[in-house]
Amino acid sequence: MGLTKLFSLGGVVMWPLLAFSLLATTLIFERLLFWLKIYQHQERLIGQALELYAQKPRAAVELLQQYRQLPLARIFLAGLTLEQSTPEEFRLALESAAQSELPLLKRFNTIFESIIGVAPLLGLLGTILGLIGSFSSLRLGEVAGEEAVGVTSGIGEALVSTAAGLIVAIVTLLFANLFLGLYRRQRAAIQAHSGHLEILYRRYYRRALQRQRSRA
């Protein structure tokens, strides 16, 4: 039995399930590319920037500005480009920038959750409609022969929509959990690297104060 035949057997609910599957596929590819870009470049960049900042702060800022498309680079720049900031102001700038980046890291999570919840219900609705159609053709007393065979085949066909809804939900759930795990790892990395940068900034700030006092 071909896919076209299965699609037609699923009934009218197969159309929204098809739309959900296409939407989920598009968003999954977008998220895969997003996270691939982050894990290809960001860790190496942040390591270089932290090492460079300890010796040449301006050079570190210039390096980060070349990678503004990465979340951690934008977070670091929010603090490093704040002129004459105290360590407390620097920390607040990093925290505010990190909070503004979190929605981007969790992007499309609500859509994934909606698809995971609605797709099985649509499949169940399609099955119920198919069963109603099958039993409506069965007249009282005609429980054997061709009528019974027709009802049995109709029940099997009605289950196609349930299977389709479960497939869409399961595949979407697997990728949604993957992206959620990547988000949690990225959030932990933001906290760790931001803390490291804050320590370096506090040392830089103390040295700057000492130089000012020595000149006075």
pLDDT band at 139 (very low <50, low <70, confident <90, very high): low
Domain extent for 102: 9-136+144-215
Q: How far is CA 20 from the centre of its chain?
A: 16
Sorted by sequence, the CB contacts under 8 Å of residue 127 that are 6+ apart come out as 158, 159, 161, 162
Three-state secondary-structure class, residue 108: coil
Residue 114 has pLDDT above 90, yes or no: yes
The confidence score (pLDDT) of residue 148 equals: 54
Q: Taking each helix axis as running N to C, give the angle between helix 146-215 and helix 71-80, from 0 to 180 degrees, rounded to the nearest 10.
A: 30
Residue 2 in domain: no
Structurally, the chain folds into a number of domains equal to 1
Of 126 and 118, which is predicted with more confidence? Answer: 118
Residue 137 has pLDDT above 70, yes or no: no
Residue 149 has pLDDT above 70, yes or no: no
pLDDT band at 173 (very low <50, low <70, confident <90, very high): very high
Residue 3 in domain: no
Per-residue buried b or exposed e for 15-35, using 16+ beta carbons within 10 Å of the residue's own CB: ebbeebbebbeebbeebeebb
Of 207 and 2, which is predicted with more confidence? Answer: 207
Instruction: Give phi and psi for 108, each to the nearest 5.
Output: 75, 0
Mean pLDDT, residues 141-152:
54
pTM of the model: 0.85
Residue 1 in domain: no
CB 127 within 8 A of CB 162: yes
pLDDT band at 59 (very low <50, low <70, confident <90, very high): very high
Residue 116 in domain: yes
Residue 11 has pLDDT above 60, yes or no: yes
Residue 208 has pLDDT above 60, yes or no: yes
- Please state which of the ranges 27-41, 71-85, 108-122, 140-154 shows the lowest mean pLDDT: 140-154
Residue 166 in domain: yes
Residue 171 in domain: yes
CB 85 within 8 A of CB 204: no
pLDDT tens-place string over residues 190-205? 999 999 999 999 998 8
